[in-house]
Each structure stands twice: as structure tokens, then as C-alpha cells.
Amino acid sequence: MKIWIHNLTKNFAKSLKVGVLGVGILGTAAAMSVESVSLSDGRVMFDRPPNLVEATTRDIHAGFRGRYHFVIEVPENAGEALEAIVVTPRDHAKRINFTLDASTAQQGVAYARGPELPLASVGGVPENPHDVLLVFDQPVQPGETVTVTLRTAYNPWGGV
């Protein structure tokens, strides 16, 4: 998985290699905190990037519906709120067809049934048709944890 730390106005800022699905994290560009890092080219970066705490599913059987949970923690000293994330399937995971209109976000960790966080939009990213961009209606503030859940009509056969 790759974790990409971006803002909405420019491209790549930092990456960390982790496994099969990629989760990109986008920070707010409009309301910049005094603590955030502003680069000369206009990019705004986190002081401390959000952490992908967990990527999990209990739905492991091929051919059945599935739910994939991504738990993201925004550190207290992030310097920026989390505005959006990008999920990028890799290798065999590209065969997963997400049911985008069933995507949800909640405050707290997976399976904790925290308060729902409305999503402003869910959809593809023009640069990569396999990417799923999820934009929060209200940015996730530093010190908060959010779980994004993507659903599938069926889990694919083969692969990890």
C-alpha cells in the first residue's frame, strides 16, 4: 500500500511504501494553519502526516459482498486538517469494483460505530481511473481519527 500525502492544489509531496491498496491523504488548502508548511510553489503540507492506522475487512470470501475499512489518524500536531483521501488499488486489487454510492465515513476506529461523517463527494480521479477519491464534507481536524468504508458488490477471486 502507498500512503500519499498531498494537498488539493498540487502533486506529489511524500510517499511511504506499505502494500496492495494505496491510500492518499489530502489536506485542506484553503484555511491554512500557522503550524502548516507552505512551500514556495503553493503546496501546503502537513507538519506531521496523517497515519494509516489499519486497513481491514472481515469479508474474506470471494464472490460475496465486501466492506474494506481504512482507519486514518490525524495527529494533534499535523498543522492541517484532512480534507480527502485517495484509495488506489494495486496489482490484483485493481479487480475490486467498489460500489461508490455505498461509501461511508465515521468518526473513530472501524467497527466502533462512531458518528457518521458526511462525504461531500466520492468518485474517480482522472489521472487514474482505478483511484477512488473521497472528499469529507467537513475536514477531519488534527487529533481526530476517521474510518472510511468502501463496499463492493462482490469480492474478486484470487489475489491478496
What was the pLDDT predicted at 160? 55
10-residue mean pLDDT profile of the chain (160 residues): values are 37 31 46 55 82 88 87 93 87 75 91 89 79 92 95 76
Q: How far apart (Å, rounded) are the C-alpha atoms in residues 56 and 40?
A: 38
What was the pLDDT predicted at 36? 58
What was the pLDDT predicted at 144? 95
What was the pLDDT predicted at 139? 94
Helices (H), the chain: none
**Euclidean distance between the first and final Cα of the chain, in Å?**
12
The CA distances from residue 10 to 5, 38, 143, in Å, are 11, 12, 25
Take residue 10 and report the three cell numbers written for it: 498540487
What was the pLDDT predicted at 56? 87
What was the pLDDT predicted at 92? 62
What was the pLDDT predicted at 32? 37
